[in-house]
Structure 1
Amino acid sequence: MIMIGFAHDSASAKQHRQLVKLISDGRVGGVMYLKYNVKSQNDVARMNKDFSTANSALAPLIAIDQEGGVVERLTSAVGFKEIPRARDVALNMDKDSAKALYTDLAKRMRKLGFNTNFGPVVDLIINKNNPIIAKYGRSFSSRADITAKFATSFIDGHHQHGMITALKHFPGHGSSAADSHLGFVDISQSWVEAEYEPFETLIKAGKADMVMAGHLFHKGYVRDGEGQVPASLSPVALTTVLRQGMGFNGVIISDDMEMGAITKHFGFEDAIVRAVNAGNDILLFSNTVKPSLGLPDRILAVLEAEAQRDPAFAAKIKASYKRIVALKNRLQ
């Protein structure tokens, strides 16, 4: 249930051996790359080989944000061929040429040892002045059908090379007027029902491996007495709407739990407990606030203490474990 980022960029680093041991001991279930982890393709391949073989019982998810355009961790600076942003793909390609593009991307990522790509973005361009989605062309379209079509090309291309994908950012970041990396984002007045549609379409088609929960507040997700919680910490959003309403039985992964929308409003322990109770299976920590490989044990301590205190919480952990194992078994 724990996926973390890390600070090193070489398999010879002392921290690398420590992280590999955490995976081997079953204390970390996945790792996430940021751009500063990528020194060269050879270094990445060496690190990923160690990660992937560290735990023979249950391989880790080795994840990266490689959407295309501005959101790419593997870049031409290290000799990796970059691809266009989603908006340009939708404007200039058909679904077959898009699938070929994403199939080739997945092949090259898999060759380096990655097995998970945090994409496709299925947010809609509702607010053309959106500072984090529309501004960078990260969304395919303002239309749900076009977005779902090109997201399918993305997913199918990745599946062809055994890569896991993640629909993001539920319930939709495309109407927001702010960036949830920085702080609290309220979409109550701007969000529209159509933003659900790409998620629903892809879930019904069996294309959704994971859904990433966005740190987006909507007053419709708030229960009496609960206060303002973003969708990523809301049982209404993730359990009632996504699981029960849309029938999604796969893995829900939180967006980075160290983003401002979480850290500025919730304490460490509180955020973790709320995230699991809401329905998240994997807790993603970029490990950038105070980088430390002691972070997983801090998270585990919270999970274990709450599981001992609350049988319902323990049951949620067991259910998450089953979903994560089912997903990882597809990697074997």
Structure 2
Amino acid sequence: MKHTLFVLFCLLMTASCSTAGPATAPPTEHDIGRLLMVGFRGTSLEECPDLGDHLENGRIGGVILFDYDVPSHSTRRNIESPQQLAQLTAALQNTASHPLLIAIDQEGGAVCRLKPSRGFRQTPSAAELGRLNDPDSTYRSACVTAETLRAMGINLNFAPVVDLDINPDNPVIGGLGRSFSHDPDTVAVHARQTIRAMEEAGIITALKHFPGHGSSATDTHKDFTDISGSWKKTELTPYANLIDHGYRGMIMTAHVYNSQLDRQYPATLSHSTISGLLRDSLGFGGVVISDDLQMNAVASHYELETAIRLALQAGVDILLFANNSTYDPEIVDKVHTIIRRLIDNGSIPPERIEQSARRIDALMGHNAEHQ
């Protein structure tokens, strides 16, 4: 009898093992690279051979372009003229082993990397469009930007800003005219027109800065920014509105600390804010990208490995290292080494990398349908 039971037990175990799904394979260098976006110095690929190697080997999934190099206080960075920029982006895309995200901050007004002084058209700020409050005008302005980006080979615009103009003295939002309005419904209306124009041209958008940066009194580029006492739940309204209307682009996190949402971590590093609030409560299933992880609100308070671990555990899909607060030519190697170590020691399961890769693939596939 005991022998019979033992045989039955073995058969059941064999059947159970045979029907279990295969374990997730360890992420490849290419898999990890999809989650990494970096900034670089150079107006041509020949000026940055290390970047070319990373592109060929699939070690990065995206790049971000600037017209000004902050660490060196130089106007020479990536953008000189329309012709030069189009040649640069074509070389980047042709060198990459997979479709590359080429990103820029082209909001309009003060935050524009494609400036008239470099041969590009001037576009109004969000604040100007919000005061006019004509959605058709916002759409037409966004069409001009979208057409320019498409012609330049740029496929991701870190816009529109959906922060509310709660604090007009805010040095990084209200003070720069980056918000459409203090009213969340007005912000959502104008953001929707911007998204529409970009999507029609095959440009991916990124709503920012979640969960809201408009009430802050300080700048996350410079240091720790606490909005615990000023943040209002209405700052989530534009996100909820756009997600409910089927928003399919990205959402960028803010490095703001908000004890109403997380008593320990700033939003970018907060599981309760990203996975809990944004994904579970608001229902966003798309790509989440961090704001620049070299900004002082994060970099001055967290070791690089800690910031990467917390961001990935929080639910961030793409880690942005703009290389324009500080410049680290070895950032790609460092991030790959850290992520591999986090996977090996069990801090980040392979499934977490695969999850982000699937979201990025879905986004790129959706965008390809509109090109």
Shorter-chain TM range is over 0.9
**Distance across 2 between alignment mates of 1:98 and 1:4:** 30
- Is 1:83 the counterpart of 2:123? The answer is yes
Partner of 1:140: 180
Q: What are the Cα deviations for residues 163-205 of structure 1, in whole angstroms up to 9, with x where unaligned?
A: 0000000000001111111110111100001000001111111
Residue 220 of structure 1 aligns to a residue whose secondary structure is coil
Shift of 1:141: 0.3
Residue 180 of structure 1 aligns to a residue whose secondary structure is coil
- Is 1:71 the counterpart of 2:111? The answer is yes
1:200-215 matched pairs, under 5 angstroms: 200-215=240-255
Shift of 1:327: 1.1
Partner of 2:366: 330
Contact 2:293 2:321 in 1 (8 A): yes
Shift of 1:309: 1.5
- Is 1:45 the counterpart of 2:89? The answer is no
Partner of 2:38: 4
**Distance across 1 between alignment mates of 2:312 and 2:328:** 22
Q: What are the Cα deviations for residues 63-118 of structure 1, in whole angstroms up to 9, with x where unaligned?
A: 00000011000000111001010010111251122111101210111101000000
1:167-316 matched pairs, under 5 angstroms: 167-222=207-262, 228-310=264-346, 313-316=349-352
Asked which structure has the greater CA Rg, the reply is 2
User: Unaligned 5+ residue runs, structure 1?
Assistant: none
Q: Which amino acid aligns with 2:61?
A: G
Partner of 1:23: 55
TM-score (norm 2): 0.85
**Distance across 2 between alignment mates of 1:154 and 1:204:** 17
Q: Which amino acid aligns with 1:84?
A: P
Runs of 4+ displaced beyond 3 Å: none
Shift of 1:220: 2.5
Q: Which amino acid aligns with 1:283?
A: L
Q: What are the Cα deviations for residues 191-240 of structure 1, in whole angstroms up to 9, with x where unaligned?
A: 001000001111111124100000010112336xxxx3100000000000
Bigger drift between 4-13 and 277-286 goes to 4-13
Q: What are the Cα deviations for residues 126-164 of structure 1, in whole angstroms up to 9, with x where unaligned?
A: 112211101011000000110000000110000010000
**Distance across 2 between alignment mates of 1:222 and 1:290:** 28
Partner of 1:121: 161
User: Unaligned 5+ residue runs, structure 2?
Assistant: 1-34, 69-77
> Given the superposition, is the C-alpha separation of residues 208 and 140 from structure 1 closer, same or farther in structure 2, using an over 3 Å criterion?
farther
Contact 2:309 2:348 in 1 (8 A): no
Shift of 1:253: 0.2
Residue 209 of structure 2 aligns to a residue whose secondary structure is strand
Q: What are the Cα deviations for residues 272-314 of structure 1, in whole angstroms up to 9, with x where unaligned?
A: 1111001100000011355344211110111111112217532
Contact 2:248 2:363 in 1 (8 A): no
> Given the superposition, is the C-alpha separation of residues 311 and 175 from structure 1 closer, same or farther in structure 2, using an over 3 Å criterion?
closer
Residue 261 of structure 1 aligns to a residue whose secondary structure is helix
Bigger drift between 235-244 and 94-103 goes to 94-103
Q: What are the Cα deviations for residues 222-265 of structure 1, in whole angstroms up to 9, with x where unaligned?
A: 36xxxx31000000000000000000000000000000101110
Residue 164 of structure 2 aligns to a residue whose secondary structure is coil
**Distance across 2 between alignment mates of 1:40 and 1:288:** 20
Contact 1:251 1:324 in 2 (8 A): yes
* Correspondent of 2:152 among 98, 112, 127: 112
Q: Which amino acid aligns with 2:139?
A: K
Partner of 1:32: 64
> Given the superposition, is the C-alpha separation of residues 312 and 300 from structure 1 closer, same or farther in structure 2, using an over 3 Å criterion?
closer
Bigger drift between 124-133 and 161-170 goes to 124-133
C-alpha RMSD over aligned residues: 1.4
**Distance across 2 between alignment mates of 1:86 and 1:185:** 23
